[in-house]
Amino acid sequence: MDFRNFQRLDSKPSLLAYGCMRFPERDGQIDKKLTYAMLDAAVAGGVNYFDSAYVYHGGKSEGFMGEYFTARSMPRESYYIATKLPQWNVDSLEDAKRIFEEQLTRWQTDYIDFYLLHDLKSSGFEKMLKLGVVDYCLDLQKQGKIKHFGFSTHDNFEGFKSTLDYRDWDFVMLHLNYMDLDNLKLYEYALSKDIPILVMEGVKGGSLSKLPEDISKYFANVKPTDSPSKWALRWAGSLEGVKCVLSGMSSVEQVKDNLTTFSDFKPLTDDERAAIKKVETALRKRVRCNCTGCNYCMPCPAGVNIPWVLSIWNNWGIYENRGHSNWEWSIVKGTQRPDSCTECGACVELCPQKIDLITDLKKAQSELEGLKW
C-alpha cells in the first residue's frame, strides 16, 4: 500500500481510504460476515484510513466500525478514524456537543483523527460560526479529542473559497473525478493554499466503475485487464496534493481490485490520460438533454423539479447505471415528477437554451419509470 505523508499534520494515512457508506446489507442490516471479510482484506492490504459519518447506513456505520476494531483487537494507533458532523441537523451548540459525544461512544474511542463538517456550503458554514460550532470543534482539537479538523463539500467555487479562506484548515475533502471537471477549480485553489486534499466520488458513486461497452473499449485498447474503477481511481490519485482517495467498497472483489491500484501506485502516463479524455468525450455525447442546470425555468407553476429530473435522466443516458439512477429517481416525489406537468409552456419561454422541455420531461418520465427492476 502506498502512503502519502501529511507533513503538516504528522500523519501518514493509506492512499486508499475505506469509505464506510456502501457496506452490503442483508434484511436491512449491515451484512456483518461479508463486511468483516472486506475490512479484513483491506487491513491486510495496508488500508489504515476509515471514513464514515453520523448518518451513514441510517446511523449504524460508525457503531459497526467501532465494534469491528474492538472485535479485531486493533491497536488504536494502527488506524485513523474519519467521521463527520451533519451540519444540516445542527440547530444549536448543544446539538453539536450531543452528536460528537455520541460519535465517540459509537466508535468506542476517546478521540477522532479526522473530523469534518459534513457537506459544507457557505450558508451552512455561516450557521456553524454563528452557533459557535466551529469554535467548539477547535476547542475539542486543543483538548486532543479531535486531531485534525476539516470539511467536505460539494459547494460552488465562490462558496468554497469563502469557507476555505476563513481559517487555515487542516485538510479538505473534495468531489473529484474525470467527468466532474468543474470541481478542478476548487482543487486548484486548495492546492494553491497548500491544504491537504482528500478525494471522494472518484468513481462518481459507482457510475464510472462499469461503462457501456462502446465506451470501455478506449480503456481496453490500452490496458485490457484494468477495470474502469482502476482507471478512475488512478486519475484521482495522480493529482498533485491528493493524500487519500476514498472508495466505498461493497464487495471483496472491489477491495482486492482497489488494493492492486494503490499498492505500488503508478501515476497516469500521457497515453493513459489520452484514453481517459476519449472516454470523457464519448460519455458526454450520450447526454439526453442539454440542460445546464441554470434554474431559469424554476419555479415550475405545477411543482415539477425540472433541472433535477433532467439531471437524473442525463446521468442514466450517460452511464447506464440502473441501480444509481433508480435510487435517484426514487427520491423525486409527488408533483416534482414530470407527470405533474400541465404543459403551460412557462419553462420553455424562460429556457436560455431554447430546449423543448415539455417533450424532454415526458421522455424523462417514461424512461426513468421504465428502469424499475
- Are both 316 and 232 inside the same structural domain? no
pLDDT score of 240 = 94
Average pLDDT over residues 62-91: 97
Measured at the alpha carbon of residue 327, what is the angle toward residues 326 and 331, in degrees to the nearest 5? Answer: 110
- CATH for 97: 3.20.20.100
CB hemisphere CA count around 135 (13 angstroms): 8
State whether 42 and 165 are in the same domain. yes
- Looking at the structure, tell me whether residues 67 and 129 fall in a common domain: yes
Looking at residues 191-219, what average pLDDT do you find?
Answer: 91
**What pLDDT score was predicted for residue 212?**
86
Helix axes 32-44, 61-71, angle to 10 degrees: 60
Question: Tell me, what amino acid is at 345?
Answer: G
Mean pLDDT of 237-260: 94
Helix (H) or strand (E) holding 127: helix 122-131
Q: Of 5-9, 21-25, 251-255, 303-307, where does mean pLDDT reach its minimum?
A: 5-9
The verdict on residue 2 lying in a domain is: no
> Is 264 inside a domain boundary?
yes
The total of structural domains in the chain comes to 2
Lowest-confidence region among 8-12, 187-191, 203-207, 328-332? 8-12
Shared domain check, 12 and 81: yes
Domain annotation covers residue 294: no
| Domain membership flag for residue 297 | no
Domain final position from 233, 261, 278? 278
Question: Is 96 among the domain residues?
Answer: yes
Distance CA 11, CA 84 (A): 19
Q: Which residue has the higher pLDDT, 17 or 370?
A: 17
Name the range with the highest mean pLDDT among 36-40, 120-124, 320-324.
Answer: 36-40
Q: What is the overall mean pLDDT for the chain?
A: 94
Residue 324 has pLDDT above 90, yes or no: no
- For residues 256 and 348, membership in a common domain is answered with no
Segment 164-178 mean pLDDT: 96
Helix (H) or strand (E) holding 136: helix 133-143
| Cα separation, 125 vs 244, whole angstroms | 24
Residues 216 and 81 in one domain: yes
Across the range 142-168, mean pLDDT stands at 95
Q: What is the β-pairing status of strands 197-200 and 16-19? A: unpaired
- % helix / strand / coil in the chain, to the nearest 5? 50, 15, 35
- Are residues 360 and 269 located together in one domain of the fold? no
Residue 21 and residue 264 in contact, taking contact as beta carbons nearer than 8 Å: no
Residue 11: beta bridge partners? 6
Burial class of residue 336, CB neighbours in 10 A (0-12, 13-18, 19+): middle
pLDDT over threshold 80, residue 30 = yes
Same domain, 170 and 34: yes
Residue pointed to by grid coordinates 477522532? 112
Mean pLDDT to the nearest integer, 14-40:
95
On whether residue 325 sits in a domain, the answer given is: yes
Q: Are residues 51 and 183 in the same domain?
A: yes
Domain boundary among 263, 278, 293: 278
Query: What is the rounded distance in angstroms from the CA atom of residue 53 to the CA atom of residue 102?
Result: 12
Q: DSSP characters for 142-161?
A: HHTSEEEEEEEE---HHHHH
Contacting residues for 57 by C-beta, under 8 A, at least 6 apart: 20, 21, 23, 25, 30, 64
Q: What is the mean pLDDT of residues 289-309?
A: 92
> 234 falls in which pLDDT band (50, 70, 90)?
very high
Helix (H) or strand (E) holding 16: strand 16-19
Coil vs helix vs strand at 222 = coil
Is the same domain home to 134 and 177? Answer: yes
Q: Are 273 and 306 in contact (CB under 8 A)?
A: no
Quote the CA–CA distance of 322 and 336 in Å, as a whole number: 21
Count CB neighbours of 92 within 10 A.
Answer: 11
| Residue numbers of the domain that contains 116 | 7-278
Gap between the Cα atoms of 167 and 184, Å rounded: 21
Instruction: State the pLDDT at residue 210.
Output: 87
Q: Distance between CA 258 and CA 62 in Å, rounded?
A: 22
Region 308-321: mean pLDDT is: 90
Flag whether pLDDT at 352 surpasses 90: no
136 and 20 belong to one structural domain: yes
147 and 260 share one domain = yes
Whether the pLDDT of residue 214 is over 70: the answer is yes
pLDDT tens-digit map of 90-136 = 999 999 999 999 999 999 999 999 999 999 999 999 999 999 999 99
Whether 292 is in a domain gets the answer no
- Asked if the structure places residue 288 within a domain, the reply is no
Q: Which of 119, 116, 215, 111 is nearest to 160 (CA)?
A: 119
Phi-psi region of 281 (alpha: psi -120 to 50; beta: other; left: phi over 0): alpha
Handedness of CA 125, 127, 130, 131 (dihedral sign): negative
Higher pLDDT, 314 or 6: 314
Count of CB atoms situated within 10 Å of the CB of 141: 17
For residue 373, pLDDT over 70 is answered with: no
